[in-house]
Amino acid sequence: MTLKEQVTLRVVLYEGEGSQPLAAADQFAALTALLEKGFAVTRTGATGRVAPADRSPLLVLGSFSQGKAIQAEDASGTVPVRFADITGWDVARIVQTVESVREETQAARQGDWKPWFPVIDYDRCTNCMQCLSFCLFGVYGVSAEQKIQVQQNDNCKTNCPACSRVCPEAAIMFPKYKAGPINGDEVSDADLQREKMKVDISALLGGDVYSLLRQRSEKAKSRFSKERDSDKALNERKKCLVKLVEGGDIPPEVLMSLPSPEEIQRRAQEAMAKAQAALAGRAG
């Protein structure tokens, strides 16, 4: 899936002039259903302010007096505005209507992808490029100013926090991760001292992760060719994978999807070259 920059349909749950108040329980039910479907909802109220309008299409839902939706339009003509009288509607009908308007307005459809990607804390990041060198999936890149960036966040392997473990400053977060500091919790001295937070991934595996995989795979291949023992080769691979999964909290499916040893080597070298070029660019 390629993430696109698309406008979001803004749903407004309206209470105010020309409408009847909505029961709090009904509001809660409608809001929950819409949020679960990925919609953004603005709820107007007797007090407080809401965000200003932008060019996002608007759908205004309300219990309008005498069943008649208020009439309004964007004076500049740039914002499509629609109204729906939801008096007596159940939640399913509300969601269905909102979904139809989303399709009509070609606004973004959300919820097709678990948003799992690294978020860099630039207060901590020292631009060492360890993450760029480490990631085999092309998630990281460098800006024109040779600054590390997350460039392809949808290339990231869901539930894999491996790159955050190679960051010496604990600057890489995955906000949906279970534990700190990877989830964004404060970083402690103890976190920085922990073996898993050190630059060298060898703390995790007793050797470079890619070369270890490569060595294991080569050993397994060689045994396979000599002994024709496919079970042994498979067991060897499994043992290696179990160690990675246990030591680094890396999902097995990520490890199973790693490319061939040759491809790993090629990508690792490519990433390393990119990182070195970026570092040289900054130094120069």
Partner 1 sequence: MNTSRILYCHCAYAQVVPKEVKELVLKRLCAAGVAFEAVADLCEMSARRDPALKRLTEGGTLKIAACYPRAVKWLFEAAQAPLPAHGAEILNMRVQPADEVTEALLRPGLEPNLPAGKATRPSAAELPKTEVAA
- Residues in touch with partner 1 (CB under 8 A): 3-8, 10, 24-25, 27-28, 31-32, 35-56, 108, 110-111, 113-115, 117, 119-124, 150, 153-154, 169, 173, 175-178, 180, 183-190, 192
Pick between residue 194 and residue 239 the one whose CB is nearest to partner 1: 194
Q: Least distance from C-beta 137 to partner 1, angstroms?
A: 15
Of 178 and 239, CB closest to partner 1: 178
Residue 132 Cβ, how far from partner 1 at the closest point, in Å?
A: 16
Structure-token pair, residue 236: 């060897």
Query: CA 146, 148, 151 angle in degrees (round to 5)?
Result: 110
Q: How far is the CB of 49 from partner 1 (least distance, A)?
A: 5
Extract the tokens encoding 141: 């890149």
Q: In whole angstroms, how close is the CB of 91 to partner 1 at the nearest point?
A: 14
Q: Which is nearer to partner 1, 172 or 205 (CB)?
A: 172
Amino acid (1-letter code) at residue 234: L
> Whole-number minimum distance, CB 129 to partner 1, in Å?
18
CA distance 6 to 115: 16
CA distance 10 to 54: 10
**Distance, CA of 284 to CA of 271 (rounded, Å):** 20
**Which CB atom, from 161 or from 240, has the smaller least distance to partner 1?**
161
Task: Tell me whether residue 186 or residue 231 sits nearer to partner 1 (CB atom).
Answer: 186
Q: Nearest approach, Cβ of 70 to partner 1 (angstroms)?
A: 17
Q: Is the dihedral of CA 221, 226, 230, 235 positive or negative?
A: negative
Check: CB of residue 132 under 8 Å from CB of residue 262.
no
Nearest to 130 by CA among 272, 277, 270, 281: 272
Lookup result for tokens 């407080």: 48
Burial of 265: CB neighbours in 10 Å, binned 0-12, 13-18, 19+: middle
Q: Which is nearer to partner 1, 152 or 202 (CB)?
A: 152
